[in-house]
Structures are given as C-alpha cells and as structure tokens.
C-alpha cells in the first residue's frame, strides 16, 4: 500500500489575490515536511498568481471547480485547459457547498470528473451525508449514490488519478468533527465500495481524505486512522499557523 498523505487547504470564497499570494508564501516558507503532498486551493482569480509564487516550492495548487466544456459560450465558467494552463494540478468536484447551493448533481459531477481527467488534472471527488441523512440511517446509501454517480463508467486504470474526500456535511464549517471512529467507519465503507466496484488494488491505492472542521488539535487523531489518507481543510487553512499545525500533526 503506497498512499501518500495529502493535506489540502480549500480557501473557498476567501482572500484577495494579494492575500492569497501572501498566505501561499507563508505556507511555503514554513513547510517542514517533504513526505506529504500539500495542496492549496485558492479562488479562481488567485490561482495563477499563487501557482506562479509557488513554482519553486513543493506546494501544489488546485481549482475549486471545473466546467465540462473546454471552451465556448458559457459565461463565467472555467475550463480544464484554463485551469491546467494556470498551474492547477488538482480540482475539487462536487464539494457539498456546490451540491447544496449550486444544484450540483451526480451527473454534473461525472461530467466535471471527465473534463478534469481529459485536461490532465487530478479530480478530488467530494462525498458526504447531511445530518438528517446520518440520523435516518442513510449515510452509506448517500455515499453509495454519490460514488456510483460520480465515478459512473470509469475504468479501474483511471482511478490512479482520482482522490476521494469524505466530508460529512454536518461537520463542514460547524466546528463539529466526525469522531475518529465515525471517520474510520465511513472511510472503510468508501474503500470497500471502491474494492467492490473496481478491485482490491484500486481500493488499496486510492487516497481518501477526510474533511470537516479539521484543526491542529484534532488532526493527529483523525489522520492516525489507517483508512484516512489526509485532510481537506477549510477554515483552518486560512491561517498559515493553523494549516502548518495540521501538517505538523500529520
Ligand atoms: P471546514 O471545511 O474545514 O471549514 O469544515 C472543509 C471543507 O469544506 O472542505
């Protein structure tokens, strides 16, 4: 099993270009670990300036979303070739905020995933249940439909480009974190699902990140779970001190 841990910071709708470049610089200069993949995910406007500022650093840059057409009359959309040319290596797909506020569906996730692969970007497919879904016993059913929809028709050989992020919606930006056991259980379910859908080797080599109120204090416990291969961090990625603290805890 050779899954390299990843710590990713999703900056969401925060930071001006100048602030984003400055934060990227602080992260790069404070980084003490070379054994992890570190990814920052700025807003689109800051993506290229941040990527340029990190060009001599191991810190990678990703996009928060991707449109499925390469070009055309699609006002305000951003395509795979544009992201790639701007310096992105990864791209988030189906973040719960996109699903919740912007009508993201399994079908559109699948189209975006295809566009990412076609552009040579590594998709990070986000899945996770709401509190109501968890409380009514539907958590695994939700994961199953998000995984089967988002990865529909994908071949095993393409999975080496794909990262999954388990982000229980009730833990995002709420300060509520999944317990280590809850995270371990959901990650084991996802890995089992991947094994059944593809094969055991794919399951063992697919990186599954946990996201939802990860901070320097809870990171070690979560990242110690054998099925948890890293963290997708929102709020705590907006300060170099807390983001680096999570990296140190990993
Ligand atoms: P949070 O966000 O760390 O602020 O909960 C995580 C995410 O949405 O990726």
Residue from 230, 235, 243 to probe ligand 1 pocket by mutation (most atoms less than 8 Å from CB): 235
> What does the pLDDT average to over 88-117?
97
Q: Whose CA is nearest to atom 2 of ligand 1?
A: 234
How far apart, in whole angstroms, are the C-alpha atoms of residue 94 and residue 112?
Answer: 9
Q: Whose CA is nearest to atom 7 of ligand 1?
A: 234
> What does the pLDDT average to over 78-100?
98
Q: Are 234 and 209 in contact (CB under 8 A)?
A: no
Pocket flag, ligand 1, residue 167 (CB < 6 Å): yes
pLDDT > 90? residue 173: no
**Chain-centre distance for alpha carbon 211:** 8
- The catalytic residue positions are 95, 167
Distance from Cα 61 to the centre of ligand 1, integer Å:
17
pLDDT, tens digit, 9 for 90 and up, residues 109-131? 999 999 999 999 999 999 999 99
Atom number of ligand 1 nearest to Cα 96: 8
Q: Whose CA is nearest to atom 9 of ligand 1?
A: 234
pLDDT, tens digit, 9 for 90 and up, residues 232-249? 999 999 999 999 999 999
Pocket flag, ligand 1, residue 233 (CB < 6 Å): yes
Distance from Cα 12 to the centre of ligand 1, integer Å:
9
Model pLDDT, residue 1: 54
How far apart, in whole angstroms, are the C-alpha atoms of residue 184 and residue 118?
Answer: 32
The whole-chain average pLDDT of the chain stands at 97
Name the CA dihedral angle for 51, 105, 189, 172, rounded to a multiple of 10 degrees: 60
Distance from Cα 231 to the centre of ligand 1, integer Å:
9
Q: Whose CA is nearest to atom 1 of ligand 1?
A: 234
Model pLDDT, residue 102: 97
pLDDT, tens digit, 9 for 90 and up, residues 145-169? 999 999 999 999 999 999 999 999 9
CB atoms within 10 A of CB 160: 12
Q: How confident is the model at residue 2 (pLDDT cuts 50, 70, 90)?
A: confident
Pocket flag, ligand 1, residue 212 (CB < 6 Å): yes
Pocket flag, ligand 1, residue 214 (CB < 6 Å): yes
Biggest CA–CA distance in the chain, Å, is: 49
Q: Are 229 and 208 in contact (CB under 8 A)?
A: yes
Residue in 74, 107, 109, 70 with CA at minimum distance from that of residue 92: 109
How far apart, in whole angstroms, are the C-alpha atoms of residue 185 and residue 204?
Answer: 16
Q: H-helix or E-strand containing 26?
A: helix 17-30
Tokens coding 234: 């929102």
Q: What is the residue extent of each domain of the chain?
A: 6-249
Residues paired with 166 in a beta bridge = 127, 210
Instruction: Give the whole-number percent of the chain exceeding pLDDT 90.
Output: 95
pTM for the full predicted model? 0.97
> What does the pLDDT average to over 177-185?
94
Say which residue, 1 or 28, is predicted with more confidence: 28
- Provide the CATH topology of domain 6-249: TIM Barrel (3.20.20)
Q: Give the side-chain half-sphere CA count within 13 A for 213.
A: 15
Tokens coding 167: 């982000």
């Amino acid at each position: 099993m050779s899954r390299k841990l990843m710590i990713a910071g999703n900056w969401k709708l925060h930071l001006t270009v100048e602030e984003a470049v400055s934060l990227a610089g602080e992260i790069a200069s404070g980084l003490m670990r070379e054994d992890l993949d570190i990814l920052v995910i700025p807003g689109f406007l800051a993506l290229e300036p941040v990527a340029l500022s990190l060009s001599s650093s191991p810190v990678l840059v990703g996009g928060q979303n991707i449109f499925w057409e390469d070009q055309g009359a699609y006002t305000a959309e951003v395509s795979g070739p544009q992201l790639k040319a701007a310096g992105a290596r990864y791209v988030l797909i189906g973040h719960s905020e996109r699903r919740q506020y912007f009508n993201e569906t399994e079908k559109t996730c699948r189209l975006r995933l295809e566009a990412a692969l076609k552009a040579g970007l590594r998709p990070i497919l986000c899945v996770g249940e709401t509190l109501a879904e968890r409380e009514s016993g539907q958590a695994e059913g939700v994961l199953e439909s998000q995984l089967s929809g988002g990865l529909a028709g994908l071949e095993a050989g393409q999975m080496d480009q794909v990262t999954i992020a388990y982000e229980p919606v009730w833990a995002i930006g709420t300060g509520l974190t999944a317990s280590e056991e809850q995270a371990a259980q959901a990650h084991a379910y996802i890995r089992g699902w991947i094994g059944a859908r593809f094969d055991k080797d794919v399951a063992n080599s697919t990186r599954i990140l946990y996201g939802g109120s990860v901070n320097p204090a809870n990171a070690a416990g979560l990242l110690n779970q054998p099925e948890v291969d890293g963290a997708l961090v929102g709020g705590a990625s907006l300060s170099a001190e807390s983001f680096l603290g999570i990296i140190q805890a990993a």
